[in-house]
Amino acid sequence: MEKDTEHEKDPHFEEARQHMKAAREAMHKTYENMLPPGFTENRRKARKEILMAVRSMLDAAIEHVDKVVKTD
C-alpha cells in the first residue's frame, strides 16, 4: 500500500519533477556530445569488467568461507 505524500499531490511539485527530468536528459546529451565517439560504450564495457571482477572476488570469498565452515 503506497502512501501519497503532500508533495506528490501538489501540481507544482509534479511540474518541477518534469522540468528536472528534462534538464537531466538535456545535460546527458550535452555530455555525450562533448565526449569522443565510443567513450560511452567503452565506459560501459569497463564498468561491466569491474563488476565481473567484484563477482569473482565475492565467489572466491564465498568458496573460502565454505571450506572453513566444512573443516570446523
What is the number of structural domains in the chain? Answer: 2
Per residue in 1-24, pLDDT (tens digit) is 455 566 667 889 999 999 999 999
Domain span at residue 59? 40-72
In this structure, are 8 and 27 located in the same domain? Answer: yes
Question: Per residue in 28-63, pLDDT tens?
Answer: 999 889 999 899 899 999 999 999 999 999 999 999
pTM of the model: 0.55
* Domain shared by 47 and 68, yes or no: yes
Q: Are residues 45 and 27 part of one domain?
A: no
Separation of alpha carbons 29 and 37, rounded Å:
13
Three state DSSP letters for the chain: CCCCCHHHHCHHHHHHHHHHHHHHHHHHHHHHHHCCCCHHHHHHHHHHHHHHHHHHHHHHHHHHHHHHHHHC
Shared domain check, 51 and 23: no
- Residues 47, 23, single domain; the answer is no
